[in-house]
Amino acid sequence: MKILIVEDTRTNLLIITQYVQRFGSVAIQAETGARAIEVFQSERPDIVLLDIILPDMDGFTVAQRLRGLEENGGWTPIIFLSSLNKDEDIERGIAAGGDDYLAKPVSEVVLGAKIRAMQRIIQMRTSLVVLARKLDVANRELKRLSASDGLTGIPNRRLFDEYISREWRRARRGTNSIALMMCDVDHFKPYNDTYGHQAGDDCLRRVAHAIQQTMERAADIVARYGGEEFAVVLPETQIGGALFLAEKIRHAVHELHIPHSGSAQGRVTLSIGIAATIPGPDAAQEELIEAADRALYQAKHAGRDRVCRAEATFSL
């Protein structure tokens, strides 16, 4: 353990240094406030023993400077050393950033006890910091998992609901267009019945990956909406841009060449319904979802493996 001793009286400095060394710690000396600040930055001591009366600045000012130099989440115990032991002196020292107060002349026994107490606090604090970091990592992972579909790894319905709600409000504030695609794997139930559920799961994973790989912007997300259905949210996108991307997605799934004997195309295909609008002040996002759903139904009814858009007059 490194202990910075800030003391301008040479005799006191040597005595306290001997005490610290007998405790098994490394003593670092500074005789001025400026030197203490410099050494603190370079050595990063574990504890600071700080005299209040110094030749260039008082210990209260030094303590404040040291607190300002601590890294985020960092904490170094500061014990003031002084013959000033009035209540107001102690109060001022604590207010300046000190953690304890030791009256001069310094007793080796009392100093040792205070250092051991600070060591215990440092150890407990370190344990708490480590635990907090572990909890933070665990919470981030839990949040990621709670927002991801367990089968495909893409965002799940919960994240979709949160995301489209947020982007809907943003589009409404900025009077921007927002587009939505509803995508459905054609004849998926016959596929499952023919090839088995394991093959069906693999099919969904491959389709999800193909759609995700087609996304061109970080703001565009694809989510598993439910079963064999996927949803794509496209902020700041008009119907033309959504149509272009939808055709790319349909083609990408087509090019997976996943055999499907129950389909007229002989392979797994995707039907897509799209809708886009500039939300009005009283519009609800459910209306956009319903419009895209209707367009998807049209794509299914028209023969599947195609893209259909909501009515050109669609507006909210």
Three-state SS across 237-285? CCHHHHHHHHHHHHHHHHCCCCECCCCCCCECCEEEEEEEECCCCCCCH
Distance in angstroms (rounded) separating the CA atoms of residues 165 and 285: 7
Residues 282-315 pLDDT 10s? 889 999 999 999 999 999 999 999 999 997 545 4
Residue 88, pLDDT score:
80
Q: What is the pLDDT of residue 122?
A: 85
Judged against a pLDDT cut of 70, whether residue 74 lies above it is answered with yes
Instruction: For residue 262, count other CB atoms closer than 10 A to its CB.
Output: 16
Is pLDDT above 80 for 32?
yes
Q: By three-state DSSP, how is residue 172 classified?
A: helix
Instruction: Give the span between the Cα atoms of 54 and 62, in whole angstroms.
Output: 10
Complete DSSP assignment for 76-115:
--EEEEES--SHHHHHHHHHTT--EEEESSPPHHHHHHHH
The verdict on whether omega for the bond into residue 45 sits within 30 degrees of 0, i.e. cis, is no
The 8-class DSSP code of residue 202 comes to H
Q: Could you tell me the two tokens for 238?
A: 């008009």
Q: What domains lie within the chain, and their CATH numbers?
A: 2-137 (3.40.50.2300), 157-309 (3.30.70.270)
